[in-house]
Structure 1
Amino acid sequence: MSFGAQVLGTLGGIVVATLGGTLVYGAIRLTVGLRLDQEDEYNGADLSIHKISATPERESLG
């Protein structure tokens, strides 16, 4: 296999990955969004999404 074919295959893979990533990013951004709203961001993703505290009660007290 020639070096030129390897370069062409590598560039093709980069193009396919970039296009695929851009499509997935755009679809997520348009459907469910990429960020939490301001209140949920303030409270933290652990509490807002998973309904659990980021730190156990006994560790946060002392």
Structure 2
Amino acid sequence: MEAEWTEEAIQRITTENTTLKQRVRRLTADTRTLDERLKAARSNLRFQDRRLVDLEAQLAEPGPAT
């Protein structure tokens, strides 16, 4: 079966395969980075939600009589 492939075709396919493997590695790293950023954003949002609840509770508390 290899006899049916020219050396040029084999070289082209090998190069394309290498390029695709590099792209997969880059996309995997990008996905990992975006996932970490998403987790951080969700964590920040939870913190801000808790802070908002605390501030709303402070506003709802009756103030000292003046």
Alignment TM-score, normalising by the size of structure 2: 0.45
Looking at CA atoms only, which structure, 1 or 2, has the larger radius of gyration? 2
Alignment TM-score, normalising by the size of structure 1: 0.48
Give the number of the structure whose residues are more often helix, by fraction: 2
